[in-house]
């Protein structure tokens, strides 16, 4: 039996990919972009440390598929962010990687042309260019880390990272998170279990060693220091929400038992809104009311929002795509987003400065 009969039996080809160093050289950071990333990370860390009384809100499309519409949204968000900055830190949700239950579009990096051509090498560069443009507007960015190699290409442009409900239990993603340069929000499991996220926070806070790549694209043993800014993202699960005051209290107690700071982020989408995008403002309003009533653990919120409400299927003729409308999960429209965030700011601006840990 030959070597060829033993290895790569289901591999069609290996296509060379530019190294992180090469792509960074093609698309470098300006001082202005670097300042936005650094300021975003610093502000988020201060919120999690409770030295900044504001809430952060990760808000934006379920996924990026059209960079023109995405930048249109980012410009609108910048204006709103400046308006509410005394109370809320707005971070744009920029998701390029989509975990699929079975099959489907895997996101802008994997398939930037949405035609199953999978030009990943182009998708990575287009994604980096988009992040540079958003940060160039002065808007910090949050994303979901799915592929463990991608942070080497894009991590210098990210201010906040989410680990999804399907991957919070993954050892690979916990180890990766221990080396990320951003605060990391771990979502509770799809069945609603918060223990998975708590274990992920504990794991990611410790040093790890694992296989990865370096800036030159070479295989390397990655040795991390541990990330002390892990926190829970409550997204509901098991077909029920978990943003209500009882669920919040139970999550607080679980964190306390684990010796962790009671920092909670509520994802207003997914099971918390019964997958009905139009209910997200109600979830947001409920959380705001809990804070007004004395809650001290909710430090952040997430909203799926785009220019146009709802979602659309990807047509065979991409010219038929509706501008500013999600191609993955449904979103609330921009006017609804503005109204909800302004209402939150008005309700909290006199409350948050007096909130103690």
Concatenate the DSSP letters of all residues of 112-177 into one string. Answer: TTSSS---HHHHHHHHHHHHHHHHHTT--EEEE--STTHHHHHGGG-SEEEE-TTTTT-HHHHHHH
Whether 100 and 357 have beta carbons less than 8 Å apart is answered as no
Top-confidence residue, 114 or 5: 114
Taking every pair of Cα atoms in the chain, the longest distance, rounded to a whole number of angstroms, is: 75
Q: Helix 120-136 and helix 67-84: axis angle, to 10°? A: 30
pLDDT at 357 over 70: no
Q: What does the pLDDT read at residue 227?
A: 98
290-302 mean pLDDT: 98
- How would residue 58 be classed by pLDDT, with cut points 50, 70 and 90? very high
Determine if residue 146 is left, alpha or beta; phi over 0 gives left, psi from -120 to 50 gives alpha, anything else beta.
alpha
Domains recognised in the chain with CATH numbers? 40-47+54-333+341-347 (3.20.20.70)
Q: What gap in Å lies between CA 330 and CA 314, rounded to an integer? A: 13
Top-confidence residue, 105 or 90: 90
pLDDT at 33 over 90: yes
Whether 129 and 27 have beta carbons less than 8 Å apart is answered as yes
pLDDT digits (tens, 9 = 90+) for 307-332: 999 999 999 999 999 999 999 999 99
Residue 71 CB burial class (10 angstroms; 0-12, 13-18, ≥19): middle
pLDDT digits (tens, 9 = 90+) for 100-158: 656 789 999 999 999 999 999 999 999 999 999 999 999 999 999 999 999 999 999 99
pLDDT at 84 over 80: yes
Reference 299, options 86, 45, 38; nearest CA is 45
What does the buried/exposed string (b/e) look like for 250-285 if buried means 16 or more CB atoms within 10 Å of the residue's CB? ebbebbeeeebbbbbbbbbbbbbbeeebebbbebbe
pLDDT at 191 over 80: yes
pLDDT at 44 over 90: yes
Cα–Cα separations (whole angstroms), residue 98 to 51, 146, 223, 332: 34, 8, 27, 19
Name the average pLDDT for the chain.
96
Determine if residue 169 is left, alpha or beta; phi over 0 gives left, psi from -120 to 50 gives alpha, anything else beta.
alpha
pLDDT at 356 over 80: no
pLDDT digits (tens, 9 = 90+) for 242-287: 999 999 999 999 999 999 999 999 999 999 999 999 999 999 999 9
Q: What gap in Å lies between CA 170 and CA 189, rounded to an integer? A: 11
pLDDT digits (tens, 9 = 90+) for 192-230: 999 999 999 999 999 999 999 999 999 999 999 999 999
Question: With a threshold of 0.95, does the pTM exceed it?
Answer: yes
Top-confidence residue, 59 or 105: 59
Whether 222 and 210 have beta carbons less than 8 Å apart is answered as yes
- How would residue 2 be classed by pLDDT, with cut points 50, 70 and 90? low
Q: What gap in Å lies between CA 184 and CA 233, rounded to an integer? A: 9
Measured at the CA of 177, the angle between CA 168 and CA 78, to 5 degrees, comes to: 95
Reference 127, options 100, 163, 98; nearest CA is 98
pLDDT at 98 over 90: no
Structure tokens at 103: 């099959």
Bridge pairing between strands 264-267 and 298-304: parallel
Question: Which residues make Cβ contacts (< 8 Å) with residue 50, sequence separation at least 6?
Answer: 357
Q: What gap in Å lies between CA 56 and CA 241, rounded to an integer? A: 21
Question: Which residues make Cβ contacts (< 8 Å) with residue 262, sequence separation at least 6?
Answer: 252, 255, 256, 296, 297
15-43 mean pLDDT: 98
Reference 300, options 28, 43, 22, 25; nearest CA is 43
Structure tokens at 342: 């302004």
């Amino acid at each position: 039996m030959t070597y060829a009969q033993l290895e790569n039996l289901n591999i069609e080809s290996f296509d060379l990919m530019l190294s992180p160093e090469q792509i960074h050289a093609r698309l470098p950071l300006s001082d202005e972009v670097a300042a936005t990333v650094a300021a975003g990370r610093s502000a988020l860390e201060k919120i999690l440390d409770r030295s900044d009384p504001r809430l952060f809100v990760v808000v934006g499309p379920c996924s990026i598929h059209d960079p023109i519409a995405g930048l249109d949204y980012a410009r609108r968000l910048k204006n709103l962010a400046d308006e509410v900055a005394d109370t809320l830190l707005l971070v744009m949700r920029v998701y390029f990687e989509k975990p699929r239950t079975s099959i489907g579009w895997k996101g802008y990096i994997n398939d930037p042309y949405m035609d199953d051509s999978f030009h990943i090498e182009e998708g990575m560069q287009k994604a980096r260019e988009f992040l540079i443009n958003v940060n160039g507007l002065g808007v910090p960015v949050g994303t979901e880390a799915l592929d463990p190699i991608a942070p080497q290409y894009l991590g210098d442009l990210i201010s906040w990272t989410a680990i999804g409900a399907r991957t919070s239990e993954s050892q690979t993603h916990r180890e990766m998170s221990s080396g990320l340069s951003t605060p990391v929000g771990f979502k509770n499991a799809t069945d609603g279990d918060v223990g998975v996220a708590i274990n992920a926070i504990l794991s990611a806070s410790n040093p790890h060693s694992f296989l990865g790549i370096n800036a030159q694209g070479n295989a390397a043993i990655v040795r991390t220091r541990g990330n002390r800014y892990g926190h829970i993202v409550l997204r509901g699960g098991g077909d029920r929400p978990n943003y209500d005051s009882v669920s919040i209290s139970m999550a607080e107690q679980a964190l306390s038992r684990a010796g962790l700071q009671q920092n909670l982020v509520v994802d207003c989408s997914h099971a918390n809104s019964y997958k009905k995008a139009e209910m997200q403002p109600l979830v947001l309003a409920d959380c705001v009311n809990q804070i007004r009533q004395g809650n001290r653990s909710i430090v952040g919120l997430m909203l799926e929002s785009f220019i146009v409400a709802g979602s659309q299927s990807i047509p065979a003729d991409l010219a038929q795509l509706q501008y500013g409308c999600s191609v993955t999960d449904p979103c609330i429209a921009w006017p609804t987003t503005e109204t909800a965030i302004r209402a939150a700011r008005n309700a909290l601006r006199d409350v948050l400065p007096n909130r103690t840990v």
